[in-house]
């Protein structure tokens, strides 16, 4: 079972996998879904295999109640999941953990030491790690200590960043004292699409030199050289870097104080504004949803909507240039996440005018590659472009198996 525990939601999947299935790519998704609006009448979305999605409500006060309810539901005849009949049919739990700090360089079996380490990282991700910990404790309560639980960190893929990429140019003692540095996030997604890229091209890990874009509600870019993450756009927190649905991404830090003074807000209120009222939503004044913006642009050619899309794409393109310089050239740009997988228009806008770098998008291939993996650049493009759907849950499930079996991670 794969769990992603948020402040008021619990995303879950149950995946049947083992070392043999991983090798043959025969992992099987038994069910997936999400419980939203925990605390009151929660909304449960549920899908068993390829069957139609179900949606219903249930009074669920917290993650623990939601997990209990879900496992009961999955085990029942109503769910349509035929392979799970009781709690005992869940053999392990893999958790998405947002922040692993400098301590966790790879996925880990959760014992007391690892749990304490995740607690120690609360300072670095006060909004996320406490919820992740609630998920771990809930699973421990429900399944007991005999069912192994594994932590898969959003940050750990970026542990290979060199000092020059992760240090901020602020007094060094602030790094020493408070661990203020770039960590990067979306590591599981960047790692997964890098793995799929090399599978598609028949390359080794060492031959993997790419720039990956995870463009969802949160957005980040990653420079992957020789299979390792060598620079990334998100920083100490997920606020830095690309323009996102509601986050500003990069900005002059002096603006924080300026907004606070001019608008009579506290610094933490400004931080909330930069996280929740900015980005595509802030510029367009309309929505954080790229699909909504694209249809609005097509129908009404609204100026602020156009601006939001232009700022978003321009900033992403800027990172291609920066990362090409950082990693002395790359072989491909890979797009993933809701926007990266599904919007040929945004991919084309980001790559526009990149001929000088050998990047040419093939219009037909780009248009046809929606929600599936494929090459979207022309045959004579020197810098290739791919769209590759991410699957963080599958990677978490596979890591869970590998950690339990004591197998080294391939990436």
Q: Applying CB under 6 A, does 339 fall inside the site for ligand ADP? A: yes
Q: Which of 6, 117, 135, 216 binds ligand ADP (CB under 6 A)?
A: 216
Q: How far is the CB of 83 from ligand ADP (least distance, A)?
A: 27
Identify whether the C-beta of residue 326 lies closer than 8 Å to the C-beta of residue 221. Answer: no
Q: Which is nearer to ligand ADP, 81 or 244 (CB)?
A: 244
**Torsion sign across C-alpha atoms 66, 69, 71, 74:** negative
Looking at the Cβ atoms of 64 and 220, the one nearer to ligand ADP is 220
Residue 59 near residue 40 (C-beta atoms within 8 A): yes
Q: Assign 409 to helix, strand or coil.
A: coil
Q: Which of 8, 75, 217, 275 binds ligand ADP (CB under 6 A)?
A: 217
CB contact set of 195 (below 8 Å; sequence gap of 6+): 395, 410, 411
Residue number closest to ligand ADP, CB atom: 338
Q: Is 154 a catalytic residue?
A: yes
Catalytic residue among 62, 154, 222, 250: 154
Question: What DSSP letter does each residue of 218-251 carry, written as one string?
Answer: SEEEEEEETTEEEEES--SSTTSSS--SS---S-
343 is an interface residue for ligand ADP by CB under 6 A: yes
283 SS3 class: helix
For ligand ADP, the binding residue among 294, 297, 304, 348 (CB under 6 A) is 294
The answer for 56, left when phi > 0, alpha when psi is -120 to 50, beta otherwise, is beta
Can you say whether residue 241 is alpha, beta or left, with left for phi > 0 and alpha for psi between -120 and 50 degrees? left
Asked if 338 touches ligand ADP (CB under 6 A), the answer is yes
Q: CB of residue 211 vs ligand ADP: minimum separation in angstroms?
A: 18
Rounded to the nearest whole angstrom, what is the least distance from the CB of residue 270 to ligand ADP in the complex? 23
Contact between 236 and ligand ADP per CB under 6 A: no
Query: Considering only residues 262-291, where is the footprint of ligand ADP by CB under 6 A?
Result: 289-291
337 touches ligand ADP (CB under 6 A): yes
Q: Which long-range contacts (CB under 8 A, 24 or more apart) does 50-58 make?
A: 51/80
Minimum separation from the CB atom of position 264 to ligand ADP (A): 31
Residue 33 three-state SS: strand
| Options 107, 233, 278, 342; binder of ligand ADP; rule CB under 6 A | 342
**Binding piece for ligand ADP, criterion CB under 6 A, among 140-148, 213-221, 252-260, 318-326:** 213-221
Task: Count the neighbouring beta carbons within 10 Å of the beta carbon of residue 18.
Answer: 14
**Does 372 help bind ligand ADP (rule: CB under 6 A)?**
no
Nearer to ligand ADP, 27 or 289 (CB): 289
Residue 300 binds ligand ADP (CB under 6 A): no
Q: Which residues pair with 387 in a beta bridge?
A: 335, 374
**Nearer Cβ to ligand ADP (227/245):** 245
Strands 93-97 and 2-5: parallel
Minimum CB–partner distance for residue 243 and ligand ADP (Å): 12
> 343: which residues sit within 8 A by CB, 6+ positions away?
290, 291, 294
Cα–Cα distance for residue pair 27/48, rounded to 1 Å: 15
Among 6, 101, 184, 218, binds ligand ADP (CB under 6 A): 218
Q: Indicate the helix (H) or strand (E) that contains 115.
A: helix 112-120
Residues 135-164 binding ligand ADP (CB under 6 A) are none
| Binding residue count for ligand ADP, defined by CB under 6 A | 13
> Site residues (CB under 6 A) for ligand ADP?
216-218, 245, 289-291, 294, 337-339, 342-343
Residues assigned a catalytic role: 154
């Amino acid at each position: 079972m794969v769990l992603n525990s948020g402040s008021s939601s619990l995303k879950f999947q149950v995946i049947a996998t083992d070392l043999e299935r991983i090798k043959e790519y025969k992992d099987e998704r038994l069910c997936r879904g999400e419980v939203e609006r925990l605390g009151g009448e929660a909304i449960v979305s549920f899908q068993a295999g390829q069957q139609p999605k179900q949606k219903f409500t249930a009074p669920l006060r917290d993650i623990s109640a939601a997990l209990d309810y879900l496992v009961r539901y999955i085990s029942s005849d109503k769910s349509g999941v035929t392979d799970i009949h009781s709690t005992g049919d869940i053999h392990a739990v893999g958790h998405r953990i947002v922040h692993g700090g400098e301590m966790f360089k790879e996925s880990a079996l959760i014992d007391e030491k690892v749990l304490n380490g995740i607690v120690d990282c609360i300072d670095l991700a006060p909004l996320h790690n406490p919820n992740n910990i609630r998920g771990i404790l809930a699973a421990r309560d429900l399944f007991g200590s005999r069912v192994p639980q594994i932590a898969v960190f959003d940050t750990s893929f970026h542990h290979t960043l060199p000092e020059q990429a992760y240090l901020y140019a602020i007094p060094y003692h602030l790094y020493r004292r408070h661990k203020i540095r770039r960590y990067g996030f979306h590591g599981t997604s960047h790692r997964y699409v890098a793995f799929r890229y090399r599978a598609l091209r028949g390359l080794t890990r060492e031959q993997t030199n790419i720039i990956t874009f995870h463009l969802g509600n949160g957005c980040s870019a990653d420079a992957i050289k020789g299979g390792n993450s060598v620079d990334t756009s998100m920083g100490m927190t997920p606020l830095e870097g690309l323009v996102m649905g509601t986050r500003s991404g990069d900005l002059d830090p002096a603006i924080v104080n300026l907004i606070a003074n001019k608008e009579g807000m506290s610094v933490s209120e400004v931080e909330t504004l930069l996280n929740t009222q900015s980005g595509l939503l802030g510029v367009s004044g309309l929505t954080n949803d790229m699909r909504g913006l694209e249809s609005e642009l097509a129908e009404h050619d609204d100026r602020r909507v156009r601006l939001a899309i232009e700022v978003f794409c321009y900033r992403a393109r800027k990172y291609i240039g920066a990362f090409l310089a950082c990693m002395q050239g790359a072989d491909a740009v890979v797009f993933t996440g809701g926007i990266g997988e599904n919007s040929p228009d945004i991919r084309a806008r980001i790559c526009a005018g990149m001929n000088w770098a050998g990047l040419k998008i093939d219009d037909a291939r780009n248009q046809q590659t929606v929600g599936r993996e494929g090459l979207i650049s022309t045959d004579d493009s020197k810098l290739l472009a791919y769209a590759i759907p991410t699957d963080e849950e599958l990677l978490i499930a596979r890591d869970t198996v590998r950690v339990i079996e004591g197998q080294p991670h391939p990436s």
